[in-house]
Amino acid sequence: MDTELTYLAWSALLCIVLWLPYVLERIMNQGLIKTLGYPTNPATPAPWAQRAHRAHLNMIENLPAFATLVIIAQLTETSVSGAAALFFWARVVHAVVFILGIPYIRTLAFVASWIAMLSIFFSVI
């Protein structure tokens, strides 16, 4: 498998597991039954769990564009392995620092992943 597709697969895995921290926090603080149900007045999640949820949503928003660009690069036989690597590692950093509540590095990591996608786009057009 090409490097670009490998980074796409790892990015998909990151998206797949990013829901775990905030759901586990709910289970630990509210119990499994309340987490599985629809309580009338659910407890507010811990701030870090709220940030974990937002990091997951942000990855969900960005993964389709990244996947589309990587697939286009594969179809056009354009090598974008450096940009694909930048996207993945920037998203890992983004998720970690977002959950930890480190604002400026979070934004820089997001911008790095965005630049990676723009780089892929301009490589394939």
For residue range 47-74, list pLDDT tens digits in order.
Answer: 999 999 999 999 999 999 999 999 999 9
What global pTM score does this model have? 0.92
Return contacts of 10-14, CB within 8 angstroms, 24+ apart.
10/88, 11/59, 11/63, 11/66, 11/67, 11/87, 11/88, 11/91, 12/63, 12/67, 14/59, 14/88, 14/91, 14/92, 14/95
Evaluate whether residue 74 is within a structural domain: yes
Look at residue 91 and tell me if it is in a domain. yes
Please report whether residue 56 resides in a domain.
yes
**10-55 pLDDT tens trace:** 999 999 999 999 999 999 999 999 889 888 888 899 999 999 999 9
Domain harbouring 59, CATH code: 1.20.120.550
Give the total number of structural domains in the chain: 1
64 assigned to some structural domain: yes
